Structure 1
Amino acid sequence: MTRVFVYEYLSGGGLVDGDPAASTTLMPLGQAMRDAMARDLLRARLGPVTVATCAAAGPVPAGTQAVCAAPGEAPEVFVARQAARHDLVWAVAPESDGLLAAMQAAVGRSRWLGCDAAAIALASSKGATLARLRAHGIATPHDLADEATRWVVKPDDGAGAVATQVWTSRGAAAADARRRENVGAAAWLEPWVDGEPMSLSLLARAGHAELLSVNRQRIAVDGDGLLRYDGVDLDCVSPNDPRRATLATLAGRVAAAIPGLAGFAGVDFVWHPARGPVAIEVNPRTTCAFVGLSERLGRCLAADIVAARRETLHA
């Protein structure tokens, strides 16, 4: 019997108190991930499943046990307390402000179901991630700098589209980056890549990756240049699509470049009309693309993720 604790940062109580924007816009995404993970674990029949929740989140899936943080309890303290009561912890948190890294450190390697500390640390920096990928021959936005007509400024440790601004002038983008840095925020500036925004969902282990799905990201830029994430369309590139082989190769190269990727991970990229895939970032955790993917693929990804972890530990 394996006891598993599922923790998703927002639905587990993180950032919601006093932040109505997070509660109304991001909570549904977090809760959907939480519930998909929990239901998949129930299908895997590994053992009891405990799910973190809070007053602002909806009920946990039937068949699981709900648990809440104590009043005033820091997220990493709550997760560490629950980790001691469970055999495995499957956690989702933003990379920003070191949150995901803190969760991994609080849980420890023996119980953590996901990427290792080195992979999380690297992927928590946009600049460091792209430098690593570029060193392994993977195209990144800076390879297209000479043809750029727009530029993007975002937090170097950001997650999703939060605080991501698109500029039509490199000078304006640089000024934005300086303003952020002047108030102590680490900013990242890169050329905008024209093309189709997409993502890869991977099952990673020991420097290798299985490409689970290629997804289409619904991304929009509003009138003020703010980037907005409107969701994801799962598995939109069929096995017969000629792009599929190229993207399977990309998945393998990313895993080789960041060998600490483990379990479910994501790669955001843009399919450029002339250059093909251009990597934007790596997500060292479960992403929104997990929701509904087991059903789409006709398999239990939670069981596969746990099995892959056990194989790696005993290799």
Structure 2
Amino acid sequence: MNLFVFEFFSAGAMADTPLAASALPEGLAMLNALLRDFSRVDDCRTMTCVQPNLSVEADEVLTVSGDWEAVFDTLASRADFALVIAPDAGDYLADLSQRAMAQGCRLLSSAPEAIRRATDKKQCGQLLRTAGIAMPESMPVSRETLGSVVAHMGFPVVVKPIFGQDCDGVSLVSSTSDLDRAMQLLDGQSEFLVQRYQPGVTASASLLVSGKKNTPLSLNMQHITPGQPFTYCGGMTPLVHPQASAALDMATGAVGCLPGLRGFVGVDMVLTDDACVVIEINPRVTVAYTGVSQSLDLNVAQAMVDAAVLDRLPENVVSKRSISFDKGGPRG
């Protein structure tokens, strides 16, 4: 099996654009972790592409010194399967997944239409609430209606983009004086979401999805500091919490609401002592993979292949050790 693993920032897809400081370290950490794990899958030949100043280990590595899209097409055309990691925002993840399929390879990651449903926070939130998934109260607003909606909900609230990546553009608004800064972080967007702030333990559930089935792999702590903007500083797996079992059940139900999700998927959540809520679904490999893959008693890459090829999911997954991870990967 020829497998093309593509990571957006490592490949230099936005090499001429100012990036968040964490973008490349996070992307490279995920790419290295995946290549390491797929190297242990029988009869799997790995291919990838990176910028000239980066070094990774794969069976074939092409250096991207100019047209990264041409390199992408070359590798995708020679692959049996592709696994795409790219930003949700800007439709990059969905478009590149579609592009890989157009070259004739199958996806180990989510289908483009499922990616678009999951990354539209307005549409996805409505779908999950209709299905009975607990989520914080949330309303789409414009700049003109923001004040009245915040007055209705009461402080504190979270203001966030409808289409956004991780903590980008996400603000905690605790008073009227915070609104101007929140608007600045939204960078001119005309419609966005106001969400009732949910205090508690910030967590993520990691799941493996195949066809119509999914299974939880782990519940992870997320180190997120509310502010303007929110900041993400890694996490720890597994998370031991009174709501752990309920949270994993809820995440499983949420992912089941979006047909077409596949492979490694994350669900952001907030847990309290007696409840849990879903914040959003990440239809792709997340930074948590770097810790989860070293914590569990199975090769997650092999499980992804089994899910895609055999429609088979692992049973009785066990965490064998606690792993902390940050933007550069696991810390032991």
Shift in CA distance, 236/9, structure 1 to aligned 2, threshold 3 Å: same
The question of whether the paired residues in 2 share the 8 Å contact of 1:177 and 1:187 is answered with no
Aligned counterpart, 1:14: 13
Residues 65-76 of structure 1: matches in 2 within 5 Å?
65-69=60-64, 71-74=66-69
SS at match of 1:28: helix
The question of whether the paired residues in 2 share the 8 Å contact of 1:90 and 1:113 is answered with yes
SS at match of 2:256: helix
Shift in CA distance, 242/267, structure 1 to aligned 2, threshold 3 Å: same
SS at match of 1:130: helix
The question of whether the paired residues in 2 share the 8 Å contact of 1:90 and 1:112 is answered with yes
Aligned counterpart, 1:198: 203
Match for residue 53 of structure 1 among 41, 50, 65: 50
Match for residue 131 of structure 1 among 122, 126, 129: 126
Aligned counterpart, 2:324: none
Aligned counterpart, 2:163: 157
Distance 1:140 1:174 in 2: 26
Distance 1:297 1:28 in 2: 23
Aligned counterpart, 2:290: 291
State the 1:68 CA deviation: 2.9
Distance 1:45 1:262 in 2: 21
State the 1:260 CA deviation: 1.6
SS at match of 1:288: coil
Deviations 1:186-239 (A, max 9, x none): 5222121111100000001233221100000001134xx2211111212123xx
CA RMSD of aligned residues (A): 2.7
Residues 275-286 of structure 1: matches in 2 within 5 Å?
276-286=275-285
Q: How many residue pairs were aligned? A: 299
State the 1:167 CA deviation: 0.8
Which consecutive unaligned segments of at least 5 residues does structure 2 have? 140-149, 313-332
Structure with the largest fraction of helix: 1
Return the TM-score normalized by structure 1: 0.86
The question of whether the paired residues in 1 share the 8 Å contact of 2:95 and 2:112 is answered with no
Aligned counterpart, 2:75: 82
State the 1:148 CA deviation: 5.5
Distance 1:9 1:188 in 2: 27
Aligned counterpart, 2:230: 227
Residues 262-277 of structure 1: matches in 2 within 5 Å?
262-274=262-274, 276-277=275-276
Distance 1:163 1:85 in 2: 38
State the 1:171 CA deviation: 9.0
Deviations 1:61-114 (A, max 9, x none): 2x532113351444xx54233210111111101110100011111011842111
Distance 1:107 1:264 in 2: 18
Residues 90-129 of structure 1: matches in 2 within 5 Å?
90-108=83-101, 110-129=105-124
State the 1:312 CA deviation: 3.9
Deviations 1:235-291 (A, max 9, x none): 123xxx5423212311221122112211100000111345x1111110000000110
Percent identity between matched residues is 26
Distance 2:257 2:75 in 1: 32
**2:202 matches 1:209:** no
185-194 or 201-210, which moves further after superposition? 185-194
Q: Which runs of 4+ in 1 moved over 3 A?
A: 143-148, 169-181, 183-186
Shift in CA distance, 44/100, structure 1 to aligned 2, threshold 3 Å: same
Which consecutive unaligned segments of at least 5 residues does structure 1 have? none
